[in-house]
Amino acid sequence: MEFKKEFLQKLQSAKKIVFFTGAGISAESGISTFRGKDGIWNKMKPEELASFDAFMRNPDLVWEWYQHRRDIVNKAQPNAGHTAIAEFEKFFDVSVVTQNIDNLHRSAGSKKIFELHGNIERNFCINCHTFYNSLEIELSNTVPKCSKCGGLVRPDVVWFGEMLPQDEFSEGEKAAEWSDICFVVGTSAVVYPAAYIPMSAKRGDSYLVEVNIEPTELSSYADYSLFGKAGEILPKILEEVKKFKS
């Protein structure tokens, strides 16, 4: 694979790198994306499952959907894309700003991770806010009740209409703004405020590189678009890095 010269030069001089990732980076680990060809939302409407109103309307249904996805996530392994990102840390100051809730960046060994949409492993009581990790509650297909107050327990993920965790978002924004290169990997970049992250990078004069199997909302904005699978392209970029860092 041939990369353009300008990109290779940026890679040679870069110190801080941000990876802004979405569902597409986990597709090769067997986790479905939301939108696009094999997206789960071709079959189900997001507002029917990924909102607090939906949860209150039918808590068991929403819980069962997360339970199903938890099963998939628990069996999934990081792929070559996650592993390459973790290995970038040997050569650069790397931050991973992810919209994913699947823990695969952590399993791959990335250290500095900002999770914008929460984590499927954590749950909390909507009443008294007691946190439960998935090992602490009985995981069945019906919604669990809080052992302290009997309230409904929900996954600690960010649904439509909900605020993102402020620290994770502002740290992620800062990392993007101060980065020399910002890779935007496997995201349709249509969900806000997460999709402001690449814009923060641009504002800080970072070099914006998109990695996706198809053009997105961001393509016209990116300095360089690489179309193909993240699990194939990212290891090739890492090979280039190794050439000039060793």
Footprint of ligand BJW (CB under 6 A): 22-24, 27-28, 33-36, 39, 46, 50, 99, 101, 117, 157-163, 186-188, 190-193, 211-214, 216, 229-230
Of 84, 116, 146, 176, the one binding Zn ion by CB under 5 A: 146
Nearer CB in complex with Zn ion: 151/228:
151
Residue 8 interacts, among ligand BJW, Zn ion, none and using kind-specific CB cut-offs from 5 to 8 Å, with none
DSSP string, the chain: ----HHHHHHHHH--EEEEEE-THHHHTTT---SSSTT-GGGTS-HHHHSBHHHHHH-HHHHHHHHHHHHHHHHH----HHHHHHHHHTTTSEEEEEE---S-HHHHHT--SEEETTEEEEEEEETTT--EEETTTS---SS--B-TTT-PBEEEEEPPBTSPPPHHHHHHHHHHHHH-SEEEEES----STTGGGHHHHHHHTTPEEEEEESS--TTTTT-SEEEES-HHHHHHHHHHHHHHHH-
Nearest distance, CB of residue 130 and Zn ion, angstroms: 5
148 binds Zn ion (CB under 5 A): yes
CB nearer to Zn ion: pick between 125 and 209: 125
* CB-nearer residue toward ligand BJW: 22 or 204: 22
C-alpha angle 195-98-12 in degrees, rounded to nearest 5:
90
- Cβ nearer to ligand BJW, comparing 95 with 216: 216
Residue 117 bears catalytic tag: yes
How far is Cα 202 from Cα 212, in angstroms, rounded to an integer?
Answer: 18
Q: Pick what 123 binds: ligand BJW, Zn ion, none; C-beta below 5 to 8 Å, kind-dependent.
A: none
The answer to whether 212 and 225 have CB atoms below 8 angstroms apart is yes
For Zn ion, the binding residue among 1, 56, 149, 190 (CB under 5 A) is 149
Beta carbon of residue 143, minimum distance to Zn ion (angstroms, whole number):
13
Q: Which does 127 bind (CB under 5 to 8 A by kind): Zn ion, ligand BJW, none?
A: Zn ion
Kindly identify the residues of this chain, within the stretch 124-143, that bind Zn ion according to CB under 5 A: 125, 127-128, 130
**Residue nearest ligand BJW, Cβ-based:** 24
Contact partner at residue 135 from ligand BJW, Zn ion, none, CB < 5 to 8 Å by partner kind:
none
Binding site for Zn ion (CB under 5 A): 125, 127-128, 130, 146, 148-149, 151
Active site residues: 117
